[in-house]
């Protein structure tokens, strides 16, 4: 079965939009079209789905420490961003995510398709999602196992997310966060207990719900319960540490079937 590319169209609208700020709208849409054709050819795929963020975001009600994405208020957007968004909806049948982000819709679809999908983005937030990923700048195709995704998710509790205005722990960057969490154990309950030690339970819960990408519609993340028998995974399941996942984790830029 051919893999389905799940394309982060929000990112494309900003990258191509800013690059075409001094060009006409026609040049901007042609640039977008050419980029997508090259991307599809690069990946050697016949199926793709594009995702854009629409109105509303459940995270706005969750954020209490600081406003979610509040650091973006007043920042300039590409001149042709609305033209590019409309072009992708009209000509490329882009999906519009309402009440959540395109990232959530992509993660949900990737969960549905499993290893038959490839998430196409530069956003490291997606590295919490098990499956194939493609960085179109580095031309890097890589696989994230369930266990790697779980660790990546909890690392963000501590580092925060400067782009989305999510506050982590002062003085803890990715290297230190990785060491702290790999030293504490690999179970979801161990990771949760560790981030609570550094953030406090309320802040840890807030960060988790802001950072978590949905795997099904309407989902709100809850921490693992120490008493629960299904406590270990990112959303209530044990991370897949089977030999097939271990094999995937060694692969980089294989041919796509």
- The pLDDT score that the predictor gives to residue 139 is 96
Structure tokens that stand for 133 in this block: 């990923």
The model scores a pTM over 0.85: yes
Low-confidence ranges of the chain (pLDDT < 50): 1, 226-231, 236-247, 249-257
pLDDT confidence of residue 233: 54
Unique residue bearing structure tokens 């199926």:
47
Say what the pLDDT of residue 249 is: 41
Tokens of 134: 């493609």
Q: How many residues does the chain have?
A: 257
Distance, in Å, from the CA atom of 57 to the CA atom of 108, rounded to the nearest integer, reads 16
| 3-class secondary-structure state, position 142 | strand
Rounded to whole angstroms, the Cα distance separating 67 from 173 reads 22
- Please report how many Cα atoms fall inside a 13 Å half-sphere around the Cα of residue 246, on the Cβ side: 3
pLDDT by residue (tens digit) across 57-112? Answer: 999 999 998 888 887 877 899 999 999 999 999 999 999 999 999 999 999 999 99
Q: Which two tokens stand for residue 214?
A: 């949905």
For residue 2, the model assigns a pLDDT of: 84
Contacts of 190 (CB under 8 A, 6+ apart): 184
| Domains identified in the chain and CATH numbers | 4-144 (3.40.50.1010), 146-239 (1.10.150)
Exposed/middle/buried for residue 123 (C-beta within 10 Å: 0-12, 13-18, 19+): middle
Answer positive or negative: Cα dihedral of 58, 60, 124, 95. Answer: positive
pLDDT at 234: 54
């Amino acid at each position: 079965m051919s893999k389905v590319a799940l394309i982060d169209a929000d990112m494309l609208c900003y990258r191509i939009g800013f690059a075409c700020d001094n060009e006409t709208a026609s040049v901007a849409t042609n640039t977008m079209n050419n980029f997508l054709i090259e991307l599809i050819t690069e990946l050697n795929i016949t199926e793709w789905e594009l995702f854009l963020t629409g109105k509303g975001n459940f995270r706005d009600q969750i954020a209490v420490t600081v406003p979610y994405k509040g650091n973006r208020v007043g920042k300039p957007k590409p001149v042709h961003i609305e033209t590019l968004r409309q072009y992708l909806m009209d000509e490329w049948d882009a999906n519009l995510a309402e009440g959540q982000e395109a990232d959530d819709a992509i993660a949900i679809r990737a969960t549905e398709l499993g290893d038959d999908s490839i998430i196409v983005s530069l956003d490291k937030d997606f590295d919490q999602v098990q499956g194939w990923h493609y960085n179109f700048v580095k031309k890097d195709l890589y696989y994230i196992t369930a266990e790697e995704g779980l660790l990546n998710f909890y690392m963000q509790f501590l580092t925060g997310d400067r782009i989305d205005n999510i506050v982590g722990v002062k003085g803890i960057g990715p290297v230190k966060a990785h060491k702290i969490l790999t030293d504490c154990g690999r179970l979801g309950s161990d990771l949760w207990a560790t981030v609570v030690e550094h953030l406090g339970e309320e802040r840890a819960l807030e960060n988790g719900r802001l950072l978590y990408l949905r795997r099904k519609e309407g989902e709100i993340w809850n921490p693992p319960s120490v008493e629960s028998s299904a406590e270990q995974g990112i959303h209530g399941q044990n991370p897949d540490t089977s030999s097939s996942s271990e094999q995937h984790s060694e692969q980089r830029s294989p041919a796509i079937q």
